[in-house]
Amino acid sequence: CEVCDRAFSSVTGLGLHRKRAHPVQFNQGIVVDRVKRRWSPEEMELLADWEARLTREGCRGDLIRRLVGLSGGRTMDSIKGVRKTGEYKRLVAARMARGDSPIRVQSEDHAVGSASSAEARWEEELRTILRQDMEVVSRLGPAPWAAGYLVEAGEAVLASRDPTGPLVQWWTEVFMRELGSTPIPSEGERRGQDELGTSRQRRRRLFGEIQRLWKTDRRAAVSRILGGGTDLGPQSLGDMEEYWAALFEVESSPWQGETEQVVERWAMGDIFSPLTADEITGSMPAAGTCAGPDGIEPGEWVRVPLAAKRILFHCFMMWGEVPSQLLEAETSLIPKTAGPASPGEYRPITVASVILRHYHKILARRLGQVYSHSPNQRGFISGMDGVGENVVRFNAILQKARKSRRSIVVLSLDVAKAFDTVSHEAILSVLRAKGAPLHLRKYIQSCLRRSSLRLKWRGQRSRLIRVARGVRQGDPLSPFLFNMVMDHVLSGLPERVGFWTGVSGVRFNALAYADDLLLFASSEIGMRSLISAVESGLAQCGLKVNPAKSWSLCLNPSGRQKLIKVDSEVRFQVAGSGVRALGIADGFKYLGVPFGPLGVQKAEPEIEAALYRVHRAPIKPQQRLEIVREFLLPATYHELVLGQVRREDLHRWDVRVRGCVRHWLRLQHDVPNSYIHAPFKYGGLAVPELSRMVPMWRRVRRERIMQRWEDMEAEEIGGEVVEVTGLGSIEEVRRGQWEDLYGRVDGRDLRESAKVKASYSWKGEGARSLSGREYVQFVRLHAGCLPSLMRAARGRGGQRGALWCRAGCPRAETVGHVVQVCPLTMGGRILRHHAVVGLLVKAFEIRRYGVYQEVSIALRETRVRPDLVVTKGNKAWILDVQVVSPGDELNVINARKKGKYHTREIHNAVRELTGKIEVDTVAITISWKGIWSSQSVRDLREFKLGKRILEWIVERVLRGSHMNWSRWNKLRIEGSN
């Protein structure tokens, strides 16, 4: 090797070494220059297009010279030679015969005929449903839903009057606030003492700050811990207002393009037919989303009756406008990078009222069913894994070019502030061109021209800013409108330019994800024609390309060496500036997945660095676990599933995660891995196991993507990326985890955990009410890893009695023996039992049951004393509580306890005591690890005590069991002294 002087015994070995160890030098050694450069099919078709166009324009004498100028580097002799070929002559003749016939006429509403009859039908249907809902709402009464205002609004719109006044009065009264008047909570000033005091004092202050933030915005708290770029820059509200107001308030540029003739109008009934109950309930904003400037929370809005929501939305539909108060929004500025230096380095996320978001979500879903986007566009389309499809296609195209040694030119274009600067006139013109009905266009025009926002920055609001251009990021309707504009841009791309796969008809010239645009060509000339078309289309819509964030990639084959070269000498101009040409060593990310010039590269998520930040953060152990389980690891799934990854790396990350979990929860090294990875339901901690789940998710996601591809695409492109594995289903992987856990000594007691949710809810959502110390204690008890002689021996024997209880019991010292059997913990078991009974007594008294405690019932030969006898109506129940060791199935133990009291003699005694005719018996059985008997829970449902009481009992049992173990250690040590 001429680079590192290593010696090899074969030319093949030397070549592989140079390719892997010295890719730059290897790539430079590939010779792609040709003495006589051949004409590709793409170049010939473009040249034929130009010649046909110039001929129609009357160009005769200087035709060859004009073609030389357009061909980008071809000589006059080369062009003369290709013009003599029969294939080229056929291409020119076909174009001359077809003529220049693309339709470019201004569309008018009357051009496609009248739709008055269809409009009358949908309006009459709306009127009928509106009257029915008004009758339903009128029966609700004035409180708490202010039905009179809704009825008044409905009557107004039926009479073709403006319903805005009654609607505003309705939600003002129902939600007790004026729209747009909710004060923003102040974030306050950072304490000046933050940097003072000892490290422990600073850590305590930081702990308090994070806990307060965790309660109000868990995602923001996690982002602060993981260093997700939430630190704001030094900009003031005035700086932000000056920059963003100048951006938003610039008037939309006039429509500069010609509009295609409308071929088919969208059916009004598909867009404005009466809303169904499923549509309304299925489109509700998610519970965790933010309230708008009116302060209405999603939880408040979901409680509004369905008929009231439908009246509101049908008024919007029929009147064709929403009140201007709903069009006022709040815009939060999210940093794109850590420590942004200018206002432009923030992403504006706009939040409107929950009411408007709900209505626009329904409207967007309906529009998505009526209109089909460009096949090259996959951004924000319902039912499509757009990111996955584009990543897989892009990788497959690069792999196909490399393996088949075909030329390909790729250009990634970044549209500057695309969502924020798209022209309103362009949106309306494209809607008209695509066949959108007039009523819809008027509604969207009203929303666009009356929209306004206030910037939210450091606890302050800016002045009201009028939005004269752009669509709001955060509005459910915005992706649809923006994609339509991009469809117009994509429709202007030359169809004969693109990467040719080798099969007739399979040619790719673009991949788009909203404003993220990749262009493909087989030649430099083809790419320049694509650039010209895209720049022209974007300019018509008021958009511009940002050359600084764009890049190009050129792969050229070497026929003699049978290799392909990453040619960084090929350069392109975009918007008057050169774009960066990628070399063989340059990497980039496309839609969050690492790529190199030859395809997807190895995924390297920063899992270990993130784990260290979580480890150092002053938070509770259960919060560390929640961050890893719900934020840290899920953030890597996209890159791991779509990028390249080795099983060795996945296993290494699993080991690191398990090591951190064991350290945080003080779990010994011999606690089964399956306890850490098994789902909550089956007794584990639900920490994802990357080495088993990522390959499964990878296969499932790619199979789902491939199902959408055409047969020809799948054959030519898909075969390059689909992996054939022998993996089973996700359910089989998870079943293997909990079966392994139940097969262990420590996990055997957890086999009935899945039957009752209250048995495991304390590890998830219920953990938030526990202290960090308690959570660790509960997990160690639940995992069965508290220290004992039997556990320390781990199968090692010894002399008789060597493993007996150190408190003097002639039995093996296990955690179960210490907690449930040893005489030293008898008092603790009694206290634990009485605490559970006390919780039940309070629950019964709150629900107004009659309660008798520890009633002594005399029988013929003995006396029994059930814990509780409760009464209500004409019925009495005998209840007895037991906290057991699950040797047998819990329902079997429960049945034995129930059989003890379910006798005629005891029932007669209870009838005599309570005066009730009907008597039943309920056994309340729970294991010392907090696992409920499912039959006990079914019996308790009759009392309607609520699920929370079941969770409280589990927590109390776990607390009492751990106290027994602690008490045993303390008393044993005191006794030995």
Question: What is the rounded average pLDDT of the residues 534-561?
Answer: 91
Q: When comparing pLDDT for 599 and 145, which is higher?
A: 599
pLDDT in tens, 173-196: 888 654 444 444 444 434 444 455
At residue 458 the predicted structure's pLDDT band, cuts being 50, 70 and 90, is confident
The amino acid sitting at 445 is: Q
**Quick one: which of 409, 496, 401 has its CA closest to 43?**
496
List of E strands, 591-695:
593-596, 599-600
The three state secondary structure string of 457-495 is ECCEECCCEECCCCCCCCCCCHHHHHHHHHHHHHHCCCC
Q: When comparing pLDDT for 952 and 333, which is higher?
A: 952
Give the H/E segment covering residue 450.
Answer: helix 438-450
Q: In what order do the strands lie in the sheet with 918-927?
A: 850-853, 868-872, 875-884, 918-927
The pLDDT assigned to 116 comes to 52
**What DSSP character marks residue 336?**
S
Q: When comparing pLDDT for 106 and 7, which is higher?
A: 7
> Does residue 893 surpass a pLDDT of 90?
yes
The pair of structure tokens assigned to 858 is: 């005399």
Question: What is the rounded average pLDDT of the residues 135-148?
Answer: 80
695 prior amide bond cis, ω within 30: no
The pLDDT assigned to 41 comes to 78
pLDDT in tens, 741-757: 999 888 899 999 999 99
> Does residue 32 surpass a pLDDT of 70?
yes
The pLDDT assigned to 675 comes to 95
Dist. CA 430–CA 426, nearest whole Å: 6
Q: When comparing pLDDT for 550 and 99, which is higher?
A: 550
The pLDDT assigned to 426 comes to 94
Question: What is the rounded average pLDDT of the residues 723-743?
Answer: 75
The three state secondary structure string of 198-245 is CHHHHHHHHHHHHHHHHHHCHHHHHHHHHCCCCCCCCCCHHHHHHHHH
Name the one residue in this structure whose structure tokens are 């995660």.
Answer: 657
Give the H/E segment covering residue 920.
Answer: strand 918-927
Question: What is the rounded average pLDDT of the residues 952-971?
Answer: 94
CB 762, CB 770: distance < 8 Å: yes
**Quick one: which of 930, 926, 932, 935 has its CA closest to 902?**
935
Question: What is the rounded average pLDDT of the residues 639-666?
Answer: 94
The pLDDT assigned to 99 comes to 62
Dist. CA 695–CA 771, nearest whole Å: 36
**What DSSP character marks residue 250?**
S
Dist. CA 126–CA 123, nearest whole Å: 5
pLDDT in tens, 267-325: 777 888 999 999 999 999 887 788 888 888 888 899 899 999 999 999 999 999 999 99
Dist. CA 160–CA 140, nearest whole Å: 25
> Does residue 624 surpass a pLDDT of 90?
yes
The three state secondary structure string of 310-326 is HHHHHHHHHHCCCCHHH
Min mean pLDDT across 107-116, 168-177, 758-767, 803-812 is at 107-116
pLDDT averaged over every residue in the chain: 86
pLDDT in tens, 861-881: 888 999 999 999 999 999 999
Min mean pLDDT across 85-94, 101-110, 189-198 is at 101-110
At residue 504 the predicted structure's pLDDT band, cuts being 50, 70 and 90, is low
Does the CA dihedral 812-818-819-820 come out positive or negative? positive
**Quick one: which of 554, 679, 589, 698 has its CA closest to 637?**
698
The amino acid sitting at 484 is: M
pLDDT in tens, 568-590: 888 899 988 999 999 999 999 99
The pLDDT assigned to 38 comes to 78
> Does residue 975 surpass a pLDDT of 70?
no
Dist. CA 827–CA 805, nearest whole Å: 18
> Does residue 703 surpass a pLDDT of 90?
no
The pair of structure tokens assigned to 856 is: 């002594």
At residue 264 the predicted structure's pLDDT band, cuts being 50, 70 and 90, is low
> Does residue 957 surpass a pLDDT of 90?
yes
Q: Beta-carbon neighbour count of residue 841 at 10 Å?
A: 16
> Does residue 672 surpass a pLDDT of 60?
yes
**Please, what's the largest Cα pairwise distance for the chain?**
127
**Quick one: which of 616, 617, 611 has its CA closest to 221?**
617
The pLDDT assigned to 321 comes to 93
Burial 495-533 (b: 16+ CB within 10 A, else e): ebbbbbbeeeebbbbbbbbbbbbbbbbbbbbbbbbbbeb
> Does residue 719 surpass a pLDDT of 70?
no
How far is the CA of 961 from the CAs of 34, 786, 827, 828, in angstroms? 82, 11, 12, 8
The pLDDT assigned to 132 comes to 92
How far is the CA of 766 from the CAs of 626, 785, 948, 952, in angstroms? 12, 22, 10, 10
How far is the CA of 477 from the CAs of 139, 244, 366, in angstroms? 34, 22, 11
Dist. CA 937–CA 946, nearest whole Å: 11
> Does residue 826 surpass a pLDDT of 70?
yes
Torsion angle (degrees, nearest 10) of CA 103, 104, 108, 114 = 10
The pair of structure tokens assigned to 424 is: 């309103």
In degrees rounded to 5, what are phi and psi of residue 853?
-110, 135
Structure pTM? 0.85
Top-ranked range on mean pLDDT: pick from 28-42, 76-90, 492-506, 895-909: 895-909
How far is the CA of 353 from the CAs of 93, 172, 291, 322, 812, in angstroms? 59, 13, 7, 12, 65
The pLDDT assigned to 649 comes to 94
The domains of the chain are located at 1-30, 41-98, 119-175, 607-783, 823-976
> Does residue 198 surpass a pLDDT of 70?
yes
Q: What is the CATH number of domain 823-976?
A: 3.40.1350
How far is the CA of 664 from the CAs of 612, 657, 658, 780, in angstroms? 12, 11, 10, 11
Q: Beta-carbon neighbour count of residue 346 at 10 Å?
A: 23
